[in-house]
A and B are shown apart, each in its own frame.
Chain A
Amino acid sequence: MNTLRLAVADGVTITKRNALKIRRAPDLLGGVVMLPIVFVLLFTYVFGSMISLPGMSYGEYLLPGIFVMTIVTSAQITGYTLTQDLQRGIFDRFRTLPMSPSAVLTGQTVSDVIMNFTSIATMAIVGLLVGWRIHSSPFEAALGFLMLLLFAYAFSWVTATVALALRTPEVFNNIATILSFPLVFLSNAFVDSTRLPGPLKPIAEWNPVSTLVQAARELFGNTSPALPVPGAWPLRHAVPVSLLWSVLLLVVFVPLATRLYKRAVSQ
């Protein structure tokens, strides 16, 4: 019990450290607050003015997609900070301290949740200002935000794993950009996946990002009966499948990241 208490205390200390870092570093703060604002405004006004959907505004359809895109892209901050810390020897200092070894990664991922909460709250407020509306019950809406945060937390562990495998900030940034673009754009985040051509359609419909976007749309009530109903199984059960994805990612990537962390720091 005492070990667990110390592990939690150490996790809190590391979380505070990372949160302070984000607040102090202009580049990180830009990624957390400025970029999401720019995304919302740009997509709503540029694409929203061109594209029309049957039965609803494109702006409303779009915002859940932007939430998810921001989660995926800002997870890069996790990986970037981890690789930087690896290079700067700060983990060596941590490892000579009598702290809980798990605190480094839990602290990192929990501070990412705080970061994601800030981003999503910013986007929701800006979204509401430019015409996005929640059409569901408060309970469903709350569930929607919680589901986004849970997925963000799980996805942090994925990026942490990639970062700990690659180890240098530059390499990580390149690879993460290459991976995150198709993940976001080969999905229903910005377009109706039922209208995608040939082989792109099944890829987009089974993409976990699509599932999460669909689930968010349903929970925020940003759907229209006039839109075609997607046929793929994960999209028809978007909310439970999204939760399942989050759990699955955690089950696979928490142990994997932990093992890679041990390997990365013991050389």
Chain B
Amino acid sequence: MPDAIVAEGLVKKYGDVAALDGMELTVPEGTVFGLLGPNGAGKTTTVRILTTLLKPDAGRATVAGFDVVRDAHRLRAHIGASGQYAAVDDHLTGAENLEMVGRLYHLGTRSSRQRARELLERFDLADAADRPVRGYSGGMRRRLDLAGALVANPPVLFLDEPTTGLDPRARIGLWDVIAELVAGGTTVLLTTQYLEEADRLADRIAVVDHGRVIALGTADELKDQVGGDRIHLSVTSTANLESAARTLAPLAVGDMQIDAAALQVTIPVAGGAATLTEALGHLAAERITVRDAGLRRPTLDDVFLSLTGHQADENTKETVR
């Protein structure tokens, strides 16, 4: 399968600050690639370079076979981009916004109009098509912005934090739309600071920090890097917490996390469900009352924490976009 996006050693500096410091990416055609990282990690800068908005200081990149610097103008006919600042015109109606984009892709007046109606229908905006965008909700604006990126049916799509700032319902709605798109074979590069979003949408994920990729793989591979399953246990008293921890210590394959305030203990284990049964047996033998017990896979949160030493949602300084 040919690669739709290739980036090699991208560097972009703002003064002394390196927004990108050797960014490497390869995205095969027809897959969804997630760029995951905190604010200021270099996600948006990467997207701006790949969509020809910025020139890199060093390194090279091709998208759909076109060099992003040398063939910038020709490349633009083959990409669609939707950003975190919904780039739609407030005073124009939804239909007018999309028609304008169609005409700027040089689709011709009639096809632009037809395409606009199709997309409005598909994105559940048909009822609002002839109202000025000013009156749209945040979720509607994002959907319209995303529709704008799809006007020319581009083979490669860039979505920069498509759901940042949306309420949970609008977010899930947008996820469904994106999932549907991908089923149609579009290559998508998605940036996000939401682990759940990357987990749900992306085939492969690159964890980005300080302008470079620090880990790469499927969501499962990344989770495996952090270790296997964990037993998660809630007990009824502090005394029980201590004895539970003591009893289960032999089963642990890594450091146990004890949360004294919540009366919870998390124990990394090998062996999955059988180990959970064994652990519950030991606890029953010791007559320790358990309120809740379960086995869980590590989340991408655990991955992020162990890779970067800080939480994904920690607001680090916002660098120039």
Count: A-B pairs, CB below 8 Å: 74
* Bound Cα distance from A16 to B52, whole angstroms: 26
B52 close to A9 (CB less than 8 A): no
Query: Is the CB of A174 closer than 8 A to any CB of chain B?
Result: no
B87 and A93 within 8 A (CB): yes
| Cα distance, A13 to B92, chains bound together (Å) | 13
Quick one: given A9-B106, A13-B104, A24-B132, are A92 and B87 in contact (CB under 8 Å)?
Answer: yes
Contact B101 A20 (CB under 8 A): no
Q: Is the CB of B52 within 8 A of A96?
A: yes
When chains A and B are docked, how far (Å) is the Cα of A96 from the Cα of B87?
Answer: 11
Which of B74-82, B196-204, B276-284 is found at the contact surface with chain A?
B74-82
- Chain A interface residue bracket vs B: 20 to 34
In the bound complex, residues from chain A placing their C-beta under 8 Å from that of B89 are 17, 21, 90
A16–B148 CA distance with the chains assembled, in angstroms: 18
What's the minimum C-beta distance from A78 to chain B, rounded to whole angstroms? Answer: 16
> B96 to A98, Cβ gap below 8 A?
no
Residues A20 and B53 in contact, CB atoms below 8 Å apart: no
If A6-B106, A10-B104 touch, whether A96 touches B91 (CB-CB below 8 Å) is no
Asked if A96 and B104 make an inter-chain contact with CB atoms under 8 angstroms apart, the answer reads: no
B-side contacts of A10, CB under 8 Å: 103-104
Q: Output the least CB separation between B186 and chain A (Å).
A: 15
Contact (Cβ within 8 A) B83 A89: yes
Partner of B81, one of A16, A96, A265: A96
Centre residue among B51, B86, B87, B88 by max chain A CB count within 10 A: B87
A103 to B74, CA, bound (A): 17
The chain A residues found within 8 Å of chain B, CB to CB, are: 6, 9-10, 13, 16-17, 20-21, 24-25, 88-90, 92-99, 103, 265-267
- Could you tell me which B residues sit within 8 Å of A by CB distance? 51-55, 73-74, 76-77, 79-81, 83, 85-89, 91-92, 96, 100-101, 103-106, 132, 145, 148, 320
